[in-house]
Amino acid sequence: MDCYFITKESLKAGTIVECEPIGLLEQDEDGEVDHKVLAAMPGQEVEVGQGLLQELRDFIYAVFAPFPDVCVRVGRLLPREAALQHIEACREV
């Protein structure tokens, strides 16, 4: 299960932080489901809307730009409940 940690805080690589799911990003890679849980620090306000979706799309497409053979599709932002269901489904595997 993949997760994007959404914060404005400056964190060093390897820092362990407490987080909670705030949404789920639909994503497919080469036709396979590869959704991403979105998480934030407890109590931190994050607007899960079109602005965040566009930032994530820009980031993901930039990461995959050097790999033109990989077909990536970024879909919708789903609510926290969808993230919780995805986490539970991953635990069952």
- CATH code: domain of residue 34: 3.90.80.10
Higher pLDDT, 53 or 92: 53
pLDDT interval class at 92 (50, 70, 90): confident
CA dist., res. 27 & res. 88, Å (int): 18
Model pTM?
0.90
Number of structural domains found in the chain: 1
Domain of 53?
2-91
- Residue 41's CB: how many other CB atoms inside 10 A? 17
Question: Per residue in 48-80, pLDDT tens?
Answer: 899 999 999 999 999 999 999 999 999 999 999
The H-or-E segment that residue 50 falls in is helix 50-64
| Tokens, residue 46 | 């994050």
